[in-house]
Structure 1
Amino acid sequence: MIKSLINNFKELNYMPREKLERKLNLKPVSKYFGPKDIKASEDVVLLHEELEAIHLMDSFCMYQEDAAKKMNVSRATFARIIKSARKKISLALITGKNIKVHEVKNEFRIAICSNKQDELVYAEPDAEYIWIILIKDYKLASQSCIKNPMYKNENEATCNVLPDVLYDYKVNYFMLNDIDYDLKISLIAKGIYPMLKEKIELDSLVDIFQ
């Protein structure tokens, strides 16, 4: 009897708390910011909840406790969110990086060009393969690989082909180390946002969005 009570007590005390759903009321006017006088080498991803926290504290001058209640999170969680947001913004301003506002909450797809089918080898938009990676609840959920229609394709422009292909696969982000203006505009027109990264490792991909 006593042993049973102890086990029940342990279960009650070590049961993980259910994560509260954030209340995000701010609709981003723009999702992409960057310097005009230099070419940014990388993007910094600002989460929607981080933008909301900045808005509540710095636009409305709310106290952390009140802002936390507004977002339906604990004060400790809000403190972590606002600290992360300010760190990312300061990093972008000081080092000349782009800021990409990530509005999708829990699920998104990333496209990355690769020279290999069985291993992610970061490559240019005309590489042989395109990896499509699903991240759900900030965890790597699945990955697939498709043939790149731009591989050895000299008859069509990348900006006229890839955006449509990625759109059909419901891609949210296209990661690459460099991009020309026409491809960038064509991607954004389809709701696909380019993310500039000098190098990518599959194991640390999720960390980019945290």
Structure 2
Amino acid sequence: MPRPKRPRCISARPRIRGFQPRGAEETGEIILSLEEFEVIRLIDHEGFDQAGVAEVMEVSRQTVGRILKSARFKIAESLVQAKRLTVQGGCYEMREQVGGRGRRRRGRRKL
């Protein structure tokens, strides 16, 4: 039996639930977890490096690399194969910003 996943810290829920292809017939659905979305947001949008993201999410740099690889593959597959991309699920903890310091609210969310 594998070891249970340690929840990843994310700062906020995304403002979107997903994307749908336009101009082509939809051929399926891809699920992007919230921790995959958070890694993409921090690295590709905010400009963090993997070590910085690992600190923020309280996981190892190697874990961030695996999550990033998985997220980029799912996004590419969604674009190339005209599949709907849905952001949901995962194993994470919400980190609430209170007075400039992070405060975590525990709760596992699984698909």
**TM class by shorter-chain length?**
0.7 to 0.9
How far the C-alpha of 1:105 sits from its partner, in A, is 3.9
Q: Secondary structure at the match of 2:9?
A: coil
Give the 3 Å change call, closer, same or farther, for CA 66–88 of structure 1 in structure 2.
Answer: same
- The 5 Å alignment of 1:46-125 reads 46-103=32-89, 105=91
**1:25 alignment counterpart:** 11
1:92 and 1:99 in contact (8 A); partners too: yes
Aligned length: 95
Aligned partner of 1:37: which letter? G
Structure with the larger RCO, 1 or 2 (CA within 8 Å, 6+ apart):
2
**Rg larger for:** 1
Structure 1: gaps (5+ residues): 1-15, 107-135, 139-208
Q: Secondary structure at the match of 1:45?
A: strand
Deviations along 1:167-199, one digit per CA (max 9) or x if unpaired, are xxxxxxxxxxxxxxxxxxxxxxxxxxxxxxxxx
Structure 2: gaps (5+ residues): 93-107
TM-score (norm: length of structure 1): 0.41
**2:28 alignment counterpart:** 42
Q: What's the RMSD between the two structures over aligned residues? A: 2.5
- The 5 Å alignment of 1:5-24 reads 19-24=5-10
1 CA distance for matches of 2:5 and 2:78?
A: 29
How far the C-alpha of 1:38 sits from its partner, in A, is 1.5
